[in-house]
Amino acid sequence: MEEKKVNALLVTHRPNVLYLSGFTGTSGFLLVTLEEALLYTDFRYLQQAGEQVSAFEIVKVENYVDYSHVTGQLTRSGLKQLAVEESHFSLRELNILKNAAPGIELLPLHNFLEEIRAVKEEGEIELIARAAGIADEAWQELLPLLKPGISELEVACELEYRLRKKGSEKLPFEFIVASGERSALPHGVAGKRIISEGELVTVDFGAVYGGYCSDMTRTFVLGEPSEKQREIYELVRDAQEMAFKMIAAGQRGAEVDAVVRQYFQQYGYDAYFGHGLGHGVGLEVHELPVLSPKGQETLQEMMVFSIEPGIYIENWGGVRIEDLVVLRPEGLQVLTRSARTLSLG
Ligand code: ZN
Ligand code: ZN
């Protein structure tokens, strides 16, 4: 905060509230000044906050936009400026805050805590690795159930059930199960479609453990794949292997993404790779760093992110393979353990 010349910070984004304070309730916000740290929450969460939070003074408020205590605190401390998380603040919240504190200047911050969160501590990596492990185990149990005639929804359901049983606290996102021509949709959520032999199927899923997410994708064909399916699959897998070997601390997200894009270009498939190479994963399933043409952050040791090249061909199908990695001094450590096998069943 001193670096950014911030004397008082209002934290409203839930993953950031959790990161700083340990509070998991769905209603609560933080005020952090250079001297004080306060957690504001309502009646429903007072006991929970008392159990989870030790470094913050807990203050009862009426609701999640009751900022009167915050402005009172600022006045008492003689502070005239308050930093807010601009990406996580609604117009309504902004207006309420402005009305409660007409004399206070608001300083918008973008990605302030997100940049800090991008570099993990060992304990955080352990939780992410456990979430990745739960997903691997659930996937392993799903494999024998994958037979022609199963629907996309059934695949999602069987996975969700097994993830929960193995300790996933919730679903990190709506799972993608996209089969046949639908596999060309990078974000095709599971539907009623029945999966047949010889079709590409993309399954993108994860677990949550200790509040931390995992994210992985496997693409497969039930039965014998066609030559083209094999060719595209191997291209994507080789691109991912190349990324595993090449990525090192000090590179920018955009640089790393460009290398994989150029590799696809050699084979004429760069136009079919319509999303970024990867993204940070932690308390949120999509966080910093961004590995895409827009990724300006420099990759640092102890960052955790996905590597997920994909090729999507309209009216034909798509292939994506996604694994989670940690950037270590010696290179990338892959957290996802599931085999990458095209042909199943
Ligand atoms: Zn994913
Ligand atoms: Zn992902």
* Domain shared by 125 and 221, yes or no: yes
The pLDDT, as a whole number, for residue 150 is 98
The two three-digit tokens of residue 18, written as one number: 């959790």
**Residues 338 and 216 sit within 8 Å (Cβ to Cβ):** yes
Residue at a domain's end among 64, 86, 117: 117
- If asked whether residues 35 and 166 sit together in one domain, one would say no
CATH of the domain at 73: 3.40.350.10
pLDDT of residue 103: 86
CA 173 / ligand 1 centre spacing (Å): 9
Calculate how far, in angstroms, residue 228's C-alpha sits from the geometric centre of ligand 2: 25
Q: Please, which residues have CB less than 5 A from ligand 2, an ion? A: 215, 306
Nearest to 309 by CA among 250, 233, 253: 233
| Ligand lying nearest the CA atom of residue 205 | 1
* pLDDT of the residue at 102: 83
Q: Separation of 205 CA from ligand 1 center, angstroms?
A: 6
Q: Residues 310, 236: contact at Cβ < 8 Å?
A: yes
Look at residues 13, 4, 2, 6 and name the one whose alpha carbon lies nearest to residue 80: 6
134 CA distance to ligand 1 centroid (A)? Answer: 15
Domain co-membership, 41 together with 156: no
Q: Which pLDDT score, from 0 to 100, does residue 121 have? A: 98
Distance 234 CA to ligand 1 centre (A): 19
- From ligand 2's centre to the CA of 21, what distance in Å? 27
Asked whether residue 208 is domain-assigned, the answer is: yes
How many Å lie between the centroid of ligand 2 and the Cα of residue 303?
A: 15
- State residue 157's pLDDT score: 97
Separation of alpha carbons 344 and 209, rounded Å: 29
Distance CA 156, CA 145 (A): 12
CA 83 – ligand 1 centroid, Å: 33
Query: For residue 336, how far is its CA from the centre of ligand 2 (angstroms)?
Result: 12
Return the closest-CA partner of residue 249 out of 117, 119, 110: 119
pLDDT value at residue 101: 80
Tell me the CA–centroid distance for residue 300 and ligand 2, in Å: 19
- Are both 213 and 302 inside the same structural domain? yes
Ligand 2 centroid to residue 123 C-alpha, Å = 22
> Are 166 and 295 part of one and the same domain?
yes
Contact 58, 79 (CB under 8 A): no
**Per-residue DSSP letter, 224:** P
Ligand lying closest to the C-alpha of residue 135: 1
The list of the chain residues with pLDDT below 50 reads: none
For residue 315, the CA-to-ligand 2 centroid distance in Å is: 23
What are the residues whose beta carbons fall under 8 Å from the beta carbon of 336, sequence distance 6 or more?
A: 132, 135, 136, 214, 216, 322, 323, 324
90 CA from centroid of ligand 2 (Å)? 26
Q: Are residues 219 and 192 in the same domain?
A: yes
Examine the domain organization and report whether 258 and 274 are in the same domain.
Answer: yes
- 29 Cα: distance to centroid of ligand 2 (angstroms): 28
Domain that holds residue 63: 8-117
pLDDT of residue 271: 96
The number of angstroms, rounded, from the C-alpha of 27 to the middle of its chain's C-alpha atoms is 21
Q: What is the pLDDT of residues 85-109, one digit of tens each?
A: 999 999 999 999 999 888 899 999 9
Are residues 112 and 136 both part of a single domain? no
289: Cα separation from own chain's centroid:
10
- The reply to whether 113 falls in a domain is yes
Which bound ligand lies closest to the C-alpha atom of 171? 1
User: Which pLDDT belongs to residue 80?
Assistant: 93
Q: Count how many domains the chain has.
A: 2
Between the CA of 121 and the centroid of ligand 1 the distance, in Å, is 22
- Both 141 and 276 in one domain: the answer is yes
Using the mean position of ligand 1's atoms as its centre, give its distance from the Cα of residue 243 in Å. 17
How close is the Cα of 324 to the center of ligand 1, in Å?
9
